[in-house]
Structure 1
Amino acid sequence: MKRFLAIYIGTEAALERSEWKKMDDEARKARETAGVESWMEWGRVNSASIVDQGNPLGKTKRVSPEGLSDIKNIMTGYVIVQAESHEAAARLFERHPHFAIFPGDSVEIMECLPLPGS
């Protein structure tokens, strides 16, 4: 089995399309509750494929030759899964609650490759 890092992507455009910020508190809470329940169900259904449940991601710091800086990116969380192929890993995220219920934009899946020489 190969391992894959899946990054949850969230953009301002996705927030606008979903009209998430325009919802009243009651509607947003109901959507959040449904989203969390669906996300947990996705985790149960795919538990055999999940290697690391991951977490939401917070603010970002960049370190470069120029020094340290605060930046903003579009990554909102991650999970590590295992699958026979890249396509099989990607198919785990079809209709995922991240974008089917929540205002997430997409999930990007990339293979975790072995270190050269190992």
Structure 2
Amino acid sequence: MSERAMKNFLAVFIGTDEAMKASGWAQLSDAQRHEREQAGMQAWGQWVERHQDVIVEIGTPLGKTLRVSHDGVEKIRNALTAFTIVRADSHEAAAKLFEGHPHFAIFPGDSVEVMECLPLPR
């Protein structure tokens, strides 16, 4: 598929309490955690370099959540930790970009959810 025909995909990084506990992250010493954080950021940077040609928006970590509904605004908690937008030939190809990602391979992240950014209806 040509670059022009490629689709955009939103990748949402998920971090759950269960994944944090299973990783043993909280039991690491400060020095061990710092070492793992440094290794994780280096690996994340390498992931970005390898995929720079398909990254549309590098994204950022996500902060606290406010939900707005017909009932007003309320503080809530969710498992969303960061996002990235990539382009790929297919949904499966986009998802494969995140296999072995440092978010869950080094950091205590749970998963990355990938969904297509659909065009607006006309």
Shorter chain as normaliser: what TM range?
Answer: over 0.9
1:60 to 52, 65, 74: 65
2:12 to 7, 23, 30: 7
Matches within 5 A, 1:80-95: 80-95=85-100
Instruction: Compute the displacement of 1:31 (Å).
Output: 0.2
Q: How many residues align?
A: 117
Q: For 2:72 and 2:121, how far apart are their aligned partners in 1?
A: 28
State the partner residue of 1:39. Answer: 44
Q: For 2:47 and 2:20, how far apart are their aligned partners in 1?
A: 22
Q: For 1:49 and 1:88, how far apart are their aligned partners in 2?
A: 11
State the partner residue of 2:3. Answer: none
Structure 2: which amino acid aligns with 1:58?
G
State the partner residue of 1:97. Answer: 102
State the partner residue of 2:74. Answer: 69
Q: For 1:50 and 1:97, how far apart are their aligned partners in 2?
A: 16
State the partner residue of 1:114. Answer: 119
Instruction: Compute the displacement of 1:3 (Å).
Output: 0.3
Greater fraction of residues in strand: 1
Q: Which runs of no fewer than 5 residues in structure 1 stay unpaired?
A: none
Structure 2: which amino acid aligns with 1:2?
K
Structure 2: which amino acid aligns with 1:112?
C
Instruction: Name the Cα RMSD after superposition.
Output: 0.3
TM-score, reference length from structure 2: 0.95
Instruction: Compute the displacement of 1:23 (Å).
Output: 0.5
Displaced runs of 4 or more, over 4 A: none
1:29 to 10, 19, 34: 34
Instruction: Compute the displacement of 1:106 (Å).
Output: 0.1
